Structure 1
Amino acid sequence: MPENLSVLIVDGCPVTRETLRSHLLGLHDLDVRIEEASSAVEALQLCARLTFDCALIEYHLPEDGGPRLLSQMRDGGHLPFAAILLTGSDEDQLSDESLECGAHEFLNKETALRCGVRAVVGRSRQRFILERDYRKSEADLRALFDCGVDATVIVDEHGEVRMANRSAQHLLSRDDSTLVGQPFLSLLTPQQETSFRTVLVAERPPAQYELDVVRSNGASVPVEMTVSKVRSPSGNVTTCILRDISERRQLQAERTQQRRFIERITDSVPVSLFVHDVSNYRILFGNGTVMGLLGYPHSPDQTVADQLIPLVCPDDQEKVRLHLAVSAAGVGTEVATAEFRARHRDGRQRWILSRKRVLRREEDGLGVLILGMAEDITERKKREEQLQTLSLVARESTSAIIITDAAENILYVNPSFERTTGFLLAEALGRKPGSFLQGPLTDPSNVRMMREAVASRTPIRMEVLNYKKDGSTFWIEIFIGPVLDDHGACTHFVAVQNDISNRKRTEQKLAEARKEAEQAARAKGEFLATMSHEIRTPMNGIIGMTGLMLGTSLSSAQQEYVETIRLCGESLLGIINDILDFSKIDAGKMELEDFELSVRSLCEESLDLVSAQAGSKGLELVVDIADDCPERIMGDPGRLRQILLNLLSNAVKFTDRGEVCLRVEVNPGAQLAFAIADTGIGIPVALQSKLFTAFSQADGSTTRKYGGTGLGLAISQRLAQLMKGEISFSSAPDAGSTFCLEIPFRPAAQNRVTRQVRKKTLQGKNVLLIVGNSSSRAALGRLLRRSGAQVHDLAIPEEGPLHFSQSGPQDVIVLDQNILDRNRAGVDGLALLRQIRCSPALIATPVVLLHRHTDPDIAESFPSIGAIRRLAKPIHAELLLRAVERAADVLPEQGAPSHKSASGQRRFSGAPRILVAEDNSVNQRVARLLLENMGCLVDVVGNGLEAVAAVKQAPYDAVLMDCQMPELDGYSATGHIRAQESTTRLPVIALTAHAMDGERERCLEAGMDEYLSKPVDAGDLYTLLKALIRPR
């Protein structure tokens, strides 16, 4: 049967095409189908529709030429098995170009016709079939190569990749084009490139490697590589089979991590865990042994029995031997347990708990591997002993004890709980305490606090109302605390409660008594306030009127009568003030202020207040402040002055002759001590114990002779105690008394200097000090020496003349006029003064004369005394030093001081208009006269309504407003006045007979500007008006 053959003839010449057709049709053994094309375009169109076995193509085809057509046919997939290029010449260059374009033959047309087209076509076809079979075989081999599961790379002798199957391409994430021809070493990590280089050149390289190859994205992949050398005609090649071991590496990492995790767990537990074989006790795994717990290393050469038994307490050795034998035999499935005592390496006895169990057995059932655990339970044993002791205590305790688990379910109650509540242990077990011990009357806030404390594991102590089994209530004081294990986790709660019902009933009675006492105190306070108002109102009239009368012309008898009335009124006012102070202290409402004050000024001003009384008795008043005393301190100056004034007044009151000396010094512990010493009548020992008792005097005769309420010392002691201080005293009958106020002090913040510092202004000056009283002479001498003066003390002998010539020249003489006034044996005062001036050294020396207010002017009886400066006693340190400095020409003289008017009254220039709102007619007259004497125009109204109306009608400069008035009181009237003001604020001064605590604040809150308590002092009133009235 003839073979079918399809041929395409492509030639621009019709003759040539016909010639070739004729030759082909003459082949009798072939059934030839022939198609013709005169151009490349026609040929490509035919190839697109038909398939050809052979193509005869003119090399010099018009337009693109034969080689170009072959390239297009090959690119389009239409290249036949035999492609023959025909040409009219025999150029070798054309032959090479034809073969490069995909032609199977390149023949001269004449040669082709001469040799026969059949032979040419047959030869080309056979060649094509061989090439096709080779390519098919190669494709089959490649397909087989690519089917390999393992990645395979073939490397030539130059180290370049010749082939790589699909698994290799997938593993390396590269295609064939990026792998073939690449150096194999470029596929490895830089660390492995050098070591693997020797493998490629080795004759017999190791069979397997584990290394990392690099993908196209730079990621490394762990592989196991099998290497083999193969000889081929083209040279030696190396076959590298790569197996991805990422999962194996991951599994190994996970196993390593698991092992480390288990090791960390075993290392963290407070017990020894280990696995050993039965035969020789070889430790296969673990974190320690029994020997390690006892401080000894485990020796592999010895059995645990040989090491452990000698350390075990003799009473427990047999128990340990049996335990080791049972565990070594590996019989049974139960855990072998033993507790025993052993001696630690440090010499102490420890309790050890050992547990062992079979992990693996042989076929015969005998154990092969043993899991062992050893734990030091010494502390647990101690706790068990403590719990036994506590259990005994709980049973015998009178307090009710409840033990719950961490969920607050009751595990135990002691007998005392049963007796107290009526609930038996069986009835309480498993219940929550709050479910049956609290009820409707229990304070919900207490229950909430207990729940919050339990939830936060915080101990709590509180009082709560509970219920008994019979429904009755009782008060308990309960403590609830958590019990924590070694890791801080709560395991139990313990509650201890005591019945405090009796105490609560007592507290209720005390609260009721306290309430009654407070009501009584309020009633007493209201009574005192009322009495203060009712007494001070007429006292204002008495003292005010007597003060006005003393400013008029009176006979000596009238002067004495009025002065007596005034003194009696002031005495009664002092008694009222004492009672009010005592009431405030007794009620706990006395509040101390904290201001900066001068210690010396406080002492000197306090002495000034008693100087008149002391001068009338001829007493010497002395203040002596130690050098190390602070100059300024923080404290309540008013209350300190009150204490000192009370002590000084008592000293002057009970001293008929001699002196009263106030000394100040610093005692250990930053205590400032004020000591008031007198030369008075003293206090009998039998009566000293009740000296600080309120409303008491030393005895009845004292009260009758000296007067007083007996409140002064009691108030002073209470004030001292409020200052965290104390008043103490020492006394003997007819030997005087010394009262000492001792208080803690703080130096003033602005002046932390703890010593009095003054410039040495009298440095080099000689001062002759002639003072009869030794205490005064010593105090004044120290004062002058601190300023740098050379002081010459001259004591006055009881008899005989004075020899002033012995003193030498002096710059200043400080002379106590008291020396000149007294009668001395042998020398009278004037003679003494003449003797001073007759001394050549002292004839022109200036004199600073110390005198009382009541002493006569010495210049009238002895005009030749010369230069003299008078200084009133009691002596103020600063005034004395200035007087001496001026006398010694250290300080320049000052101009003459200004004096008040002859009447001693202060007057306004401009007649300010004042409204007085006062319902008491006497007080109206007192206020009118006081204000008119100050030069004021005065209008008076009788209640608050009239005051509000008057302010609307006239422009007043100030209002004196009584607080307690009918119809409308002063507080409300002030509010109305403030409400109707536009811009200018009218000064309102409160006048009240109330002197109780808080009255001033109440007045200021009502809108008043200042506050004066009755009886009103004229000087205080003038000062307030001067400060508040705006100049016109």
Structure 2
Amino acid sequence: MSSLISQTFRARLQHIFKLGTSRTSVKEEARRIRVVNIVSFATGILVAVYGIAFHLLLHSLLILIPAVFVFCPAFFCMIWLNSRGYFNASRIGLQAIFILIILYYGAILGRVTEVQLLAVFLMSVALLVSRPQEKAQRIICVSMPIICLVALEFNYYFHIVEPLPLSAQTQNMYRWMVMPVVLFLNYLAISLYQRNIMDLLRVLRSRNTALVRSRNEVLDQRMQLAKYSEELEDLVHDRTMALQTANDAKTRFISELSHEIRNPLNAILGISELLTDALGQPDSEARIREMARNLHATSHNILELVNSVLELSKIEAGKTDEVKMSDFSLREWLHNAVNIYQSIASKKSVFIHLEIDSRFPEMIIGDKLMLGQVVNNLLSNSIKFTPAGKNIRVRCFHNLRNMFIQVCDEGRGIAAQQLNAIFKPFEQGDSDVYREFGGSGLGLAIAKRKVELMGGSIEVSSQQGEGTNFLIALPLQVSTENGPQAAGELPLLPAGAKVVVMDDNAIDHTIMKHFLARIGIAQAGFAKNGLEGIELARQMQPDVILMDLHMPVMSGRETFFNLRQEELLKHIPIVAVSSDAFKEQEQEYIAMGMDGYIRKPVEIRVLHGVLEKLLYRAPNAARGAQSHAC
């Protein structure tokens, strides 16, 4: 029991001595705080005990009241200051209390107080609790006890303050009572110095050990560095060769990409000029229709090329889209895809035949967008390599677990040694073939990665002179949804709806005006920049604003924030219409507060879907058709 009490008492003392040390991470500062706490606690107890003892001996309140009610609380107040983080105030306060004790008791008790030994203790404490760089403070703290002793001697000589009358026996008893206290305090100072020196030696030994260990580690590191240097030279050489190879491949790719872009651009420019010449000439309608079809097909080619480059850069940056499953009719979807590419293939008199197993499920579950990227790339690739008068066959069939889409062409085929390279980006096989037929060499690389992302595989077989066969295998998930409704014209939007279009491109104005008219929007206003657009919006009070992001005078971002700050306009839905094709850019503008995002070139079905959603959602939309509003 006594052992437990002793341990508890020591733990409480250690807690008192460490008050305030947790407020600093500097070990030396923590040591000084601990010294102040120890000295304050010890002298506070001693002052209270000896104040009571001397009062019982002399029966004088001049000794009892200052000791118990002034000096003792003052010492404990220094510990409290440390606990609150006032370290400098605590150190200076401790010195001041000792100075007052020396002056006060030295004056009222006379020479029997042995203040000389107390002054020595005070100078020791001053050196313990002061920082080495605080030279002025150290000098002042060491000088004050000396000044106090001189002042007391001056008082003894001139009798300015008369000491209490003490008998010889009382003086001797008082001297013997004071001497142990003063000796204990000096012993405390010496022990604190000794502990400080031991801590310093311990630190020095630790640093010396660390220095030796560090020197050995440096020697080891030098040996390892020499070894790494040799390995690095070999690695740099290998990486340089690999980089040079990749750079050469990308240089070829950029050259061929430029060639591929210039070809359709040249066709677009030529057809545009032919259309201009044909206008107004007799019997020009059939030729204009044919040229318009060619222009659409050529534009579709260049759009696919740009999309392929963007898709590849996204995949290589590790930002591949997630698979988004939905219910759809693969049968209907393939019919639409083949119809689109048949118009492109018609330029070369190439025919696409679609064969779908009659037992194929009406509705399946899959990522329609990602599957479209795969099939579009394969069809585009097959059209390029299939000569006039030949055929492309698209077959769709399934077994219990997988569905298969097969694209077979009657082109010139691929050499066996090149089959492994056609799915790699920047590896285009026979560059002369690609020069002749076109192609960027990206479509198959993207198709392979998309198929694998959907959990499937893609295989190729080919025989030169006879054609190439691509086979896509994907997991089959049959949907329980009903079959799709027959596709027809897009439903008209509310006739009373108003739309403001902000775009600096006059051609985009013409295209957007045509699209809006086709889906039933007759009240449309057009502005060439954000400043004009805001003024037009004030006049029209539209239901939706379609806004390009890159405009002169006031950019799309500035225009958006200005619209959101106007009380009469801030409720109007704003849709960004931009050529910025990356998903991150779309997410940035949606996070900014845009109500929708449409990529250029604008597709009429996408435009219809966005407007339909916003017009039937907005409270002020479709003024002419309130019965359809939510």
Tell me the TM-score normalised to structure 2 length.
Answer: 0.49
Specify the structure having the higher radius of gyration (Cα): 1
**Would you tell me which structure has more strand in proportion to its own residues?**
1
Structure (1 or 2) with the greater helix fraction: 2
Higher relative contact order (CA 8 A, sep 6+): 2
